């Protein structure tokens, strides 16, 4: 269950069920010119490239591995309104009106995901319905308060409170006391979605080069991105490497931390098992800080994610612990075969809010979705395209969010984050 960088996507259920074939995307060789060079072939990069090409820009996209190599091709596949942080964090930093704008744009990101899928006929199994499930009495109180606050302060009324039989109609488990069903949330096959965006970008004229890691970014006019065997000179550069940024831009890498998550896919379930797990085919996550999340695939596998690592090491007894969690949630699945196991990194920020901005007039970036980027990254691509075209007002709403570097420097920031996470893990158990 590796989360380590490499040139090829890891073995996973997603990689074994690809239904989108890209045009050839050979490594970059030689010096080329473009209006825009995009670094990173996840949802952010592919959406940026697609939207720019549709505006008439010439675009080159560089991907260090394969398209969808990172979180975009490995995630739990949930597409949800909202951010990886609480809206109160946004309110405190930017005020209620700006927080409302950001909330509405997060809703727009979900609608945009659906529009892109329909417009480009992407076969990624889009399905609607999401449950946020409470494990403890304090979580139930929190869900009530959240639903009331969202209706009163954000005019959001798409959530339904679930208890008892209404909850068990959505998730058949004794682990949960209550839940909020959000009709605007859903799930999809993340790798096929990302590949579908990349294919649409290619059809729109984007030149993609896989296995072409960016080694340096030179600012200027034009700006330049150098790889092992070539160089792109461009009027604009968009950096969309997220958790796999490495040391390419130290001023950005200090503002994010890599966090490894782990996912399994069971063998296909019978109709009887499905009826005793997620009978309405919703996606679900719980209300713990270190949360569990899961959904069903199109061929009725349980795609279950949980556990986290900030120190680059796989958690102890990971396989046994994940298997035990599934059996504990759903006794009907005890002994069910696990067909696939994989892991991957997401990028988190100190405040868990996404980090959008500029390093220069012509070097833009988006990163740090903190585990909540499957739909928001698509909107980020649209906003980056708008900003390059001179319509930066909505991009700047996100860019106004203040961010700071993780404390402790390069040596201590991971140990400090591990200590903080251990505190929240302990709190989850109380």
Distance between CA atoms of residues 430 and 387, nearest Å:
46
Q: What is the pLDDT of residues 118-162, one digit of tens each?
A: 999 999 999 999 999 999 999 999 999 999 999 999 999 999 999
- Quick one: how far is CA 25 from the chain centroid? 24
CB-neighbour burial class of residue 246 (10 A; exposed 0-12, middle 13-18, buried 19+): middle
Tokens matching residue 30: 């030689």
3-state SS assignment for residue 7: coil
Mean pLDDT (whole number) for 87-91: 97
- Across all residues in the chain, what is the average pLDDT? 93
Quickly count: other Cβ atoms within 10 Å of residue 327's Cβ: 14
The dihedrals phi and psi of 314, each to the nearest 5 degrees, come to -65, 135
Between CA 348 and CA 180 the distance in angstroms is: 25
The Cα-based distances of 129 to 159, 163, 210, 283, 409 in angstroms read 10, 16, 34, 6, 41
Nearest-angstrom CA–CA distance, 246 and 75 = 20
Give the span between the Cα atoms of 288 and 329, in whole angstroms. 15
Q: For residue range 10-46, list pLDDT tens digits in order.
A: 899 999 999 999 999 999 999 999 999 999 999 999 9
Question: Is 357 in a helix, a strand, or coil?
Answer: strand
- Phi, psi (degrees; rounded to nearest 5) at 50: -60, -50
What pLDDT score was predicted for residue 421?
52
Q: For 253-285, what is each residue's pLDDT tens digit?
A: 999 999 999 999 999 999 999 999 999 999 999
For residues 358-364, average pLDDT: 97
> Do the Cβ atoms of 288 and 421 come closer than 8 Å?
no
Tokens 């950005």 belong to: 252
**All residues at 6 or more sequence positions from 421 whose CB lies less than 8 Å from its CB, including other chains:** 289, 290, 308, 310
Q: What is the pLDDT of residues 376-402, one digit of tens each?
A: 999 999 999 999 999 999 999 999 999
Residue 378 · residue 109 · CB < 8 Å: yes
CB atoms within 10 A of CB 311: 14
Give the DSSP per-residue string, 276-334.
Answer: TT-TT--EEEESSSS--EEEE-TTS-EEEEEEEESSSSPPTTHHHHHHHHHHHH-GGGT
Q: Please enumerate in sequence order all residues whose Cβ is within 8 A of that of 291, keeping only pairs 6 or more positions apart, or say none.
A: 285, 306
The residues pairing with 304 across neighbouring beta strands, listed in sequence order, are 264, 294
Which two structure tokens, joined as six digits, stand for 2? 């590796």
């Amino acid at each position: 269950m590796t989360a380590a960088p490499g040139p090829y996507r890891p073995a996973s259920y997603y990689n074994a069920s690809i239904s989108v074939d890209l045009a050839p995307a050979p490594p970059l060789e030689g010096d080329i010119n473009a209006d825009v060079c995009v670094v990173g072939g996840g949802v952010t990069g592919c959406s940026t490239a697609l939207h720019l090409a549709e505006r008439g820009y010439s675009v080159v996209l560089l991907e260090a591995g394969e398209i969808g190599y990172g979180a975009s091709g490995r995630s739990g596949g949930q597409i949800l309104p909202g951010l990886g942080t609480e809206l109160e964090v946004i309110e405190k930093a930017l005020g209620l009106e700006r927080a409302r704008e950001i909330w509405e744009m997060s809703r727009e990101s979900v609608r945009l995901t659906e529009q892109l899928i329909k417009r480009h006929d992407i076969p990624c199994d889009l399905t609607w319905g999401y449950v946020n499930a409470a494990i403890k009495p304090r979580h139930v109180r929190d869900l009530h308060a959240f639903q009331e606050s969202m209706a009163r302060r954000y005019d959001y009324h798409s959530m339904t409170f679930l208890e008892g039989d209404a909850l068990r109609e959505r998730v058949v488990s004794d682990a949960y006391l209550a839940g909020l069903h959000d009709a605007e949330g859903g799930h999809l096959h993340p790798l096929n979605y990302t590949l579908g965006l990349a294919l649409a970008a290619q059809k729109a004229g984007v030149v993609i080069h896989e296995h072409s890691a960016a080694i340096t970014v030179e600012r200027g006019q034009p700006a330049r991105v150098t790889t092992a065997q070539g160089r792109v000179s461009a009027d604009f550069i968009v950096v969309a490497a997220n958790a796999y940024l490495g040391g390419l831009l130290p001023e950005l890498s200090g503002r994010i931390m890599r966090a490894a998550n782990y996912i399994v896919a069971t063998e296909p379930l019978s109709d009887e098992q499905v009826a005793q797990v997620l009978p309405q085919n919703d996606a679900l996550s719980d209300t713990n800080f270190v949360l569990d999340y899961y959904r069903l695939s199109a061929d009725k596998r349980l795609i279950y994610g949980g556990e986290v690592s900030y120190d680059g090491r796989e958690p102890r007894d990971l396989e046994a612990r994940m298997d035990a969690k599934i059996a504990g949630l759903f006794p009907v699945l005890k002994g069910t075969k696990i067909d696939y196991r994989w892991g991957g990194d997401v990028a988190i920020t100190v405040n868990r809010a996404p980090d959008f901005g500029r390093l220069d007039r012509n070097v833009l970036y988006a990163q740090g979705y903190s585990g909540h980027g499957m739909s928001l990254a698509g909107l980020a691509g649209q906003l980056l395209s708008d900003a390059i075209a001179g319509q930066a007002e909505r991009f700047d709403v996100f860019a106004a969010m203040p961010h700071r570097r993780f404390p402790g420097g390069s040596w201590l920031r991971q140990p400090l984050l591990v200590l903080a996470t251990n505190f929240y893990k302990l709190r989850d158990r109380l």
